[in-house]
Structure 1
Amino acid sequence: MITSMKPYRDALGLVNGQLLVDGAWSDSQSGETWTHLHPATGEDVAQFAVAGADDVDRAVRAARKAFDEGPWPRSRAKDRIKVLRRTADLVREHGDELLRLQALDNSVPLTFSTTYAMSMECVADIFDHHAGWIDKLGGETLPGFQGGDHMVLTLREPIGVVAAIVAWNAPLLLAAQKLAPALAAGCTVVLKPSELATFAVLRLVRLLEEAGLPEGVLNVVTGPGNPTGDALINHPMVDKISFTGSRETGRRVLAAANAGFKRVSLELGGKSPAIVFADADVYTAGAVTMGTVALGVSGQACIAQTRAIVHRDVYEEFLMVAMGMTSMINYGDPFDEETTASPLISAKQVERVLNYVDLGHQEGARLVCGGAKPDGPGNFVLPTIFADVNNDMRVAREEIFGPILCVVPFSDEEEAIRLANDTEYGLGATVYTNDVKRAMRMARGIRAGTIGVNGYQLEPHAPFGGYGQSGMGREGGRTAIEAYTEVKTVLIPTTDELM
């Protein structure tokens, strides 16, 4: 039963959100605000400031000053390590509060936090992991290519002011994936959370302040893409843009980065396949695949395995397992321990997903289950399975961002690889087989950033990102922190002769 969100809001002491500029929290200069509507009830939860161009300018200039004149980029490694480690500790200490704020933001059920990738333990581990890189992020000493009369050194230095823009579906995880490596490298940051999921991120920022982050190093501007996001990505004092979100917005970010020669990292969409061979554990494959589509965030994740490419010998068995998983879907109050799936983020997204259901019918796919909005309030859509899908259908090619699984049959390994790679995206994939040699052949053959074998997991120390239109760059691991640095070459003569 869906109840009002306001008792949870009041219990958490949630107040209207403000901007953080140069260590001071304040309303926007215009006084404009955004009212957050909870996706499960449609209620007004709270308001937060909408940063205009002037607010964004103040935030970027504060970050610029903190980088050019402040102590953080020049601080001792142990001091930066201390701040990030303390942040990790505070995240663990306040984990329940952070998750409850996130549920007020996007209605992701608290039960879903038992999965590692959505847990506060994962967020804390991201800060811990990147803290460990701070005193190890070095350059190289190279021998003189033309002789021994000089030395060649490379240094890694922080890139400068970072514009970090995060999506609404996993706001705490995504914020950590950007803030931890950027701060570890010595950058300063202007962070823009999604207007659809702001309050949990604002609390995380206050924990970073409590951990000892100097004023001006991290600034926060809240609001929608227009005006807030546009002003941020186009600001001339921003050195790098790190964005997670839709492909359409990613194109605008890339255009702004190109115009200003800014460095850029993009983590965009996906149409990730789960490839199921006849020798696989079909129950596990069907349960896990449908789980990524229907449980938790209800398919509103770029890495959701929304294409199941299934061997014909186990095709019907897979469908039965996947359909059986829908009985585990319980919608409602995200604070209720019985709730297992979230609503879609907005009424507009409900309309988009249902339009794809109609499109699947028109294209000739077989509707196995779902395909409708249940009775009652909230932005809910029943988990949906389309069978007998052709990979040329739009429902198989376009990212829907909802609880729709498209099941495509295949006959042999070569066809499976062809189908998996027949996409504009390339974020992730999972291969289900008990043949380790086949698993390795598939892992090498599939063009995607992360390949799981008989399962899929996010790891804070492993690079994450995609091929093709799934984005540019990687988050996680050494690759992520290096993306927030520039490499400088230093030439040192060892004799008095000219080089």
Structure 2
Amino acid sequence: MATSMLEHAARLGVRPGRLYIDGEWGEPLAGKRWAHVHPATNEEITTIARAEQEDVDRAVRSARRAFDEGPWPHLKARERKRLLQPLIDLVYANASELSDLQTLDNGLPVAFGRSYRVSAEFCADVFDHYFGWIDKITGEVYPQFSEMTPLQYLSFREPVGVVAGINPWNAPLLQFPEKVGPALATGCCIVIKPSEYASLTILRLTELIAELDLPPGVLNVVTGVGSEAGEALVTHPGVDKVSFTGSVAIGKHIVEAGAATLKRVTLELGGKSPAIVFPDIPELVERAAATIAGQVFYGLSGQVCSAQTRAIVHESGYDDFVQHLEARVAAVRQGDPFDEKTTSAPMINKTQLTKVQDFIERGAGDGATILLGGGEPAPELAAGNWVNPTVFVDVPAGSPLVRDEIFGPVLTVIPFRNEDEAVRIANQSDYGLAAGLYTADIARAHRVTRALRAGAVGVNGYSFMPNSPFGGVKSSGLGREGGWSSIEEFTEVKTMAVDLSAG
């Protein structure tokens, strides 16, 4: 690889990461740090503060104090909006730097990082959406039920309390505002733990928030390793709610760990998303191949929980689909993520690299056929965590290739004969995060969408927007992020009964 990532770190003025607790930047009490290593080259970029139990406890106590004793939960809507809305312009003003930091975090190609859904502009729009709810969070007034009970019932929505937000590494500009935005809009106080593989972007966003005049403790950021800082956060008795995005295994552990204090939990977990392709018109087959390849082989190279990694294609359009898919795979360009021509990211770390390589080797060994890709990446990429895009066909039923989340550039293509068979194959998964459907038949679109067990279904294309709910069913999670759904997740309903017969 021609360009060192260290050049970009110097250009961006990257400094060693610190903790942000009670409105102040500082070091962890034990003084521990870890090295942030870039996945494209495995160069050490900088060091990040490694929070442990005592640091998390300080952060939670700060948030608890700000919520229980401070003015934040009780501010009038106008005042909370006045304090928060400058953040939107700050994010827009620093959009280029934030986008580059995201690339320096996780290897997302810089050209892809400017596409809307993972951009700084999207981050600003998510904040804008949630801050717009501040003066619209209302309860309800219920009709008097009976003359025998002269009670008037009404309800209020109140902040849930202290929130622990745990972010993944793959989309910090998306995931940070999806947790911080609704928390601040509803009057909660929050402690955020970024992924240890993507802290730079979130630390810079925190610096922007620190420019606002928020009370100390409303936002705290503890960088650290999940087994230490994350565990301390989700088990802390001072935390009322956990909002987590990540693996199913950790999601299940969070539910178990929070049971002792009945923590509210929102989980966006893994996926093994299907895409059903009907060849109603030739253009749809080409669009499907382009969209699916874009999710699995471009951008983050399949390291996205909603990526459509199972292409379920009608047998009459199968050959055309494969032909278009082959052209898309051939156009993949790996390399320097700051090069505008680079299309695809490396695996986030050596562990993930090994995991994906093992899936490919086991899949081929179990009888599946590698139709496209596979093999070793180019020699000039040897220093990084690179995997060639790989397409499997003739995959045995029950194979890990179609059952397990691989989180890499691996796609299985499965033929089907009729609509019922396609739905059955699609639903044969423990996951239910997202799905794709390609058809020109509107009746079929409605029918199949309703039959699919998934939290979101995209017909002839899909993109998450700030005002739309997103989340999964089955093993893909609990609750929703996005739109009014997030406001509901970050609030509790209080009911008030007024005796109308009282003097």
**TM class, shorter-chain normalised?**
over 0.9
Partner of 1:287: 290
The CA distance in 2 between the partners of 1:19 and 1:358, in whole Å, is 41
Q: What aligned pairs does 1:298-377 form with structure 2 within 5 A after superposition? A: 298-374=301-377, 375=379, 376-377=382-383
Superimposed CA distance per residue, residues 110-133 of structure 1 (whole angstroms, 9 cap, x where no aligned partner): 111232211111111111111111
The CA distance in 2 between the partners of 1:411 and 1:389, in whole Å, is 16
Using structure 2 for the length normalisation, give the TM-score. Answer: 0.97
The CA distance in 1 between the partners of 2:43 and 2:191, in whole Å, is 29
Residue 245 (1) aligns with residue 264 (2): no
Contact kept in structure 2, 1:308 and 1:405, CA below 8 Å: yes
Superimposed CA distance per residue, residues 162-218 of structure 1 (whole angstroms, 9 cap, x where no aligned partner): 000000011121111111011101000000000000010011111112133322100
Partner of 1:398: 404
Using structure 1 for the length normalisation, give the TM-score. Answer: 0.98
Partner of 2:104: 104
The CA distance in 2 between the partners of 1:212 and 1:436, in whole Å, is 51
The CA distance in 1 between the partners of 2:192 and 2:102, in whole Å, is 17
The CA distance in 2 between the partners of 1:80 and 1:349, in whole Å, is 42
Give secondary structure in 1 for the equivalent of 2:198: coil
Q: What aligned pairs does 1:433-472 form with structure 2 within 5 A after superposition? A: 433-472=439-478
Contact kept in structure 1, 2:103 and 2:113, CA below 8 Å: no
The CA distance in 1 between the partners of 2:429 and 2:57, in whole Å, is 39
Contact kept in structure 2, 1:238 and 1:262, CA below 8 Å: yes
The CA distance in 1 between the partners of 2:113 and 2:310, in whole Å, is 24
Structure 1 residue runs of 4 or more that deviate by more than 3 Å after TM superposition: none
Partner of 1:487: 493
Residue 71 (1) aligns with residue 71 (2): yes
Contact kept in structure 1, 2:158 and 2:493, CA below 8 Å: yes
The CA distance in 2 between the partners of 1:277 and 1:33, in whole Å, is 52
Contact kept in structure 1, 2:122 and 2:173, CA below 8 Å: no
Partner of 2:93: 93
Superimposed CA distance per residue, residues 351-394 of structure 1 (whole angstroms, 9 cap, x where no aligned partner): 10011011211222110122233123210000000012244211
The CA distance in 1 between the partners of 2:289 and 2:348, in whole Å, is 26
The CA distance in 2 between the partners of 1:390 and 1:264, in whole Å, is 37
The CA distance in 2 between the partners of 1:214 and 1:202, in whole Å, is 18
Contact kept in structure 2, 1:15 and 1:46, CA below 8 Å: yes
Contact kept in structure 2, 1:391 and 1:408, CA below 8 Å: no
Q: What aligned pairs does 1:7-406 form with structure 2 within 5 A after superposition? A: 7-147=7-147, 149-280=150-281, 281-374=284-377, 375=379, 376-406=382-412
Give secondary structure in 2 for the equivalent of 1:313: helix
Q: CA RMSD in A?
A: 1.2
Give secondary structure in 2 for the equivalent of 1:20: strand
Aligned partner of 1:109: which letter? P
Give secondary structure in 2 for the equivalent of 1:306: strand
More deviation, 164-173/488-497: 488-497
More deviation, 143-152/404-413: 143-152
The CA distance in 1 between the partners of 2:456 and 2:80, in whole Å, is 30
The CA distance in 2 between the partners of 1:180 and 1:495, in whole Å, is 42
The CA distance in 2 between the partners of 1:165 and 1:33, in whole Å, is 19
Contact kept in structure 1, 2:39 and 2:107, CA below 8 Å: yes
Contact kept in structure 2, 1:84 and 1:180, CA below 8 Å: no
Aligned partner of 1:415: which letter? E
Aligned partner of 2:184: which letter? L
The CA distance in 1 between the partners of 2:248 and 2:98, in whole Å, is 28
Give secondary structure in 2 for the equivalent of 1:30: coil
Q: CA deviation at 1:493?
A: 1.1
Superimposed CA distance per residue, residues 5-32 of structure 1 (whole angstroms, 9 cap, x where no aligned partner): 1111111111001111100110100000
The CA distance in 2 between the partners of 1:372 and 1:75, in whole Å, is 59
Listed as ranges, the gaps of 5+ residues in structure 1 are none
Q: Paired residues, what number?
A: 497
More deviation, 192-201/212-221: 212-221
Listed as ranges, the gaps of 5+ residues in structure 2 are none
Aligned partner of 1:62: which letter? S
The CA distance in 2 between the partners of 1:470 and 1:278, in whole Å, is 29
Partner of 1:425: 431
Superimposed CA distance per residue, residues 84-109 of structure 1 (whole angstroms, 9 cap, x where no aligned partner): 32212111110111111111111101
Aligned partner of 2:339: which letter? D
Q: What aligned pairs does 1:473-484 form with structure 2 within 5 A after superposition? A: 473-484=479-490
More deviation, 102-111/385-394: 385-394
Give secondary structure in 1 for the equivalent of 2:197: coil
More deviation, 89-98/184-193: 89-98
More deviation, 73-82/412-421: 73-82
**Percent of aligned positions with the same letter in both sequences?**
49
Contact kept in structure 2, 1:391 and 1:419, CA below 8 Å: no
Contact kept in structure 2, 1:323 and 1:385, CA below 8 Å: no
Q: CA deviation at 1:146?
A: 2.9
